[in-house]
């Protein structure tokens, strides 16, 4: 409409200019073709040419519009398809969030060919199918997503691995994640998912190799990571199957920061005991850990450790008395070491001192056995056996009450 108004104005300007131009001398225009001729004034001729030009332009525009009509109809249809596809995507995502998975899947795959982002349609449809237990359809949507956007391999692969993991398809998820790690070795979410898969598969060796990166990048909550580390390191050590040499080799592969964990050290000692080993490396590990951080359970374990030279072990342990002279666990450990060194009187003194600080069932029973077997003080031994048993029952009752309270 704007162009038409401009054209009319231009025509009016041309006519007015022509009238002014021929006002003094009207002139004439002669058009002759064969025997046919037309003669008119110059002003009318200019006006006729201007009108003819506008008519030709108008006719040309009409013809062009007719020529382009199929394309315009197609573009308009496509535009409607895009709009409808966009509305279906939005509705499908809403259905998925609200738990209408069947309806979500249906909306998400309708008119996907008109979508500007088919990848979003297919990935969301794969999740909707997974939540319905339709795993074949899920895989079909993932395949379609890859065909639609092959350059989005990471996004599609991560989604596939997540869905496989959720369905406990652990081996398939591991294969997918291994492939993705080959593409992007430092991808954080891939590492996070790999840790979960290794944990579920109990592939402790692979998980032990991966966990330092997980901790360094803080990819998991500390509570989850601690639990994962504890179980994986225990599983990794247990794989040594009672072989002390293999156990020591496995221990060297555990991160240094975790080698100071008292719970893990106690488990290592337990496995070493199963291997019937009194390895000096175990002894040095306990000593090093206690020098860095005191732990009553570790000092008790050291008291039970049968060193090759109990007298040397005793001298080493007595050095801790400077700081922990009133520690009942240290005194109990010294009593046990003295028994192995056949220092009966000294053993009795340490055990009685331990009981004096805090009477424990273990201290009473060890002292009772010493009194009965070595010192021939049977009456006194009976008293300590009785006291030890009473403490055992008391400790068991406390553990039972604690379990019921926590439960």
**374: three-class secondary structure by DSSP:** coil
Calculate mean pLDDT across residues 120-142: 91
Calculate mean pLDDT across residues 82-89: 79
Return mean pLDDT, the chain: 85
- Is 194 among the domain residues? no
Residue 256, pLDDT above cutoff 70: yes
Calculate mean pLDDT across residues 104-132: 87
Tens of pLDDT, residues 164-200? 999 999 999 999 999 999 999 999 999 999 999 999 9
- Is 391 among the domain residues? yes
β-bridge partners, 30: 39
Residues in the chain: 407
Question: H-type helices in 98-187, by residue range?
Answer: 101-109, 118-131, 135-148, 153-166, 170-183
Match 């430092």 to its residue by tokens.
186
Helices 118-131, 135-148: axis angle to 10 degrees equals 170
pLDDT recorded at residue 279: 73
Helices 328-340, 296-304: axis angle to 10 degrees equals 10
β-bridge partners, 31: 38
| Dist CA 206 CA 185 (whole Å) | 15
The two tokens of residue 303 are: 């008291």
Tens of pLDDT, residues 312-332? 999 999 999 999 999 999 999
The two tokens of residue 253 are: 């592969």
Q: Which residue has the higher pLDDT, 99 or 273?
A: 99
Most confident of 49-53, 255-259, 338-342: 338-342
In terms of residue numbers, what domain contains 381? Answer: 309-401
Domain count, the chain: 1
Q: Which residue has the higher pLDDT, 145 or 244?
A: 145
Tens of pLDDT, residues 15-30? 666 666 656 666 666 6
pLDDT range class, residue 87, cuts 50, 70, 90: confident
- Is 342 among the domain residues? yes
**81: three-class secondary structure by DSSP:** helix
- Is 324 among the domain residues? yes
pLDDT recorded at residue 45: 67
CATH number at residue 378: 1.25.40.10
- Is 362 among the domain residues? yes
pLDDT range class, residue 111, cuts 50, 70, 90: confident
pLDDT range class, residue 73, cuts 50, 70, 90: very low
- Is 252 among the domain residues? no
- Is 386 among the domain residues? yes
**360: three-class secondary structure by DSSP:** coil
User: Could you give the C-alpha distances from 34 to 31, 37, 38, 45, 368, in angstroms and in order?
Assistant: 10, 8, 11, 20, 146
Residue 13, pLDDT above cutoff 90: no
The two tokens of residue 261 are: 């964990």
For the chain, how far is it from start to end, CA to CA, in angstroms? 82
pLDDT recorded at residue 245: 87
pLDDT recorded at residue 201: 95
Q: Answer whether 110's CB lies under 8 Å from 124's CB.
A: no
Q: Which residue has the higher pLDDT, 7 or 274?
A: 274
Q: Answer whether 305's CB lies under 8 Å from 286's CB.
A: yes
pLDDT range class, residue 52, cuts 50, 70, 90: confident
| Dist CA 127 CA 108 (whole Å) | 11
- Is 397 among the domain residues? yes
pLDDT recorded at residue 112: 82
Calculate mean pLDDT across residues 142-165: 92
Tens of pLDDT, residues 274-301? 876 667 888 888 999 998 899 999 999 9
Residue 260 DSSP label: G
Residue 377, pLDDT above cutoff 50: yes
């Amino acid at each position: 409409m704007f162009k038409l108004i401009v054209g009319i104005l231009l025509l009016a300007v041309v006519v007015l200019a022509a009238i002014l131009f021929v006002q003094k001398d009207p002139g004439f225009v002669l058009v002759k073709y064969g025997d046919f001729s037309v003669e008119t004034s110059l002003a009318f001729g200019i006006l006729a040419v201007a009108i003819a030009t506008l008519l030709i332009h108008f006719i040309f525009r009409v013809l062009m519009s007719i020529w382009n009509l199929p394309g315009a109809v197609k573009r308009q249809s496509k535009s409607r398809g895009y709009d409808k596809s966009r509305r279906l995507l939005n509705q499908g995502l809403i259905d998925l969030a609200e738990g209408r998975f069947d309806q979500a899947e249906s909306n998400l795959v309708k008119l996907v060919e008109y979508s500007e982002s088919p990848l979003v349609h297919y990935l969301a449809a794969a999740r909707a199918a997974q939540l319905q237990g339709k795993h074949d359809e899920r895989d079909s949507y993932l395949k379609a997503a890859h065909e639609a956007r092959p350059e989005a391999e990471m996004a599609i692969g991560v989604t596939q691995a997540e869905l496989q993991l959720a369905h406990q398809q652990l081996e398939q998820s591991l294969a997918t994640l291994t492939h993705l790690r080959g593409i992007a070795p430092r991808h954080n979410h891939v590492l996070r998912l790999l840790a979960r898969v290794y944990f579920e598969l109990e592939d402790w060796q692979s998980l032990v190799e991966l966990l330092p990166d997980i901790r360094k990048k803080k990819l998991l909550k500390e509570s989850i990571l601690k639990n994962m580390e504890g179980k994986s390191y225990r599983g990794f050590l247990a794989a040594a199957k009672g072989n002390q040499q293999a156990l020591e080799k496995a221990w060297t592969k555990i991160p240094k920061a975790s080698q100071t964990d008292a719970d893990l050290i106690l488990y290592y000692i337990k496995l070493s005991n199963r291997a019937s080993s009194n390895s000096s490396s175990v002894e040095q590990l306990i000593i090093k850990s206690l020098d860095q951080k005191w732990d009553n359970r570790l000092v008790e374990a050291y008291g039970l450790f049968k060193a090759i030279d109990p007298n040397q072990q005793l001298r080493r342990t007595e050095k801790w008395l400077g700081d922990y002279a009133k520690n009942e666990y240290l005194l109990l450990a010294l009593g046990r070491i003295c028994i192995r060194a056949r220092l009966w009187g000294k053993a009795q003194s340490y055990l009685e001192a331990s009981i004096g600080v805090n009477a424990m069932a273990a201290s009473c029973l060890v002292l009772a056995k010493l009194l009965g077997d070595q010192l021939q003080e049977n009456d006194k031994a009976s008293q300590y056996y009785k006291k030890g048993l009473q403490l055992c029952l008391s400790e068991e009752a406390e553990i039972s009450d604690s379990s019921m309270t926590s439960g």
